[in-house]
A and B are shown apart, each in its own frame.
Chain A
Amino acid sequence: MNLRSSVDIITEWDIVAARQLGRNEAKDVGFGTVDQARITTAISELARNIYLYAGKGKIEIRQITDGNLKGLLVIASDKGPGIADVRKVMEDGYTTSGGLGAGLPGVKRLMDDFKIETVLGEGTTISASKLLR
């Protein structure tokens, strides 16, 4: 089973659409309310980053399986400026909203698995997944 769907992020309203899609998929997989809220918060954060720093991009949501476990994979991709220092942005307290638990370290905490690929001047792709346990 490999269901996929996506939302283009162009305006701030698209962040809500991406959340809605993520929540529907999370419910469909069988995640409880708390995990649904965690996944949508992660999606919010990723979509907001696209909106703020890249201008436009895409949030893609896939249902996945890992052995017996079902889960959700979120892929945020953009063709924006890329991230110069990945280690820095992954550091706690670095983001401008430092101390508020936001930013990419927050996404990493909310999800089980987190990958980031970025090329300066070409764009960034972030994949984050969570399994239903």
Chain B
Amino acid sequence: MNISVELQTIAELHIKGLIGGEIDAFTAPILREKLAEVTLQDNIHVELNLQDVSYMDSTGLGVFVGFYKSVIAANGHMELTGLSSRLKRLFDITGLVEIMDIQARDEEVKIDETV
């Protein structure tokens, strides 16, 4: 049961977050609360780096979808970066990769679009 969430405002309307640890049913509420602290102004850009996330289940996915919806509602943009291949697979399977801005880790940036 460990998760770390660090949010940083690096410029006006640009927030960077570094998330690490495990995101499951126990830690997802912590992540949700942390993300809720972000003031969603018009045109906000939120970049969340998941490079240190070792595990995530569907509950975690729910948190990101919820957050994505509220960012979109504020005319903002959400970006997820540094996903491991395992995490990336979750976003692929769920079809979320089609609507969200998702970048895998450098070694795996090629997004497989073949059917």
A adjacent to B, CB under 8 Å: no
Q: Could you list which residues of chain A lie within 8 angstroms of chain B, going by C-beta atoms?
A: none
Q: Could you list which residues of chain B lie within 8 angstroms of chain A, going by C-beta atoms?
A: none
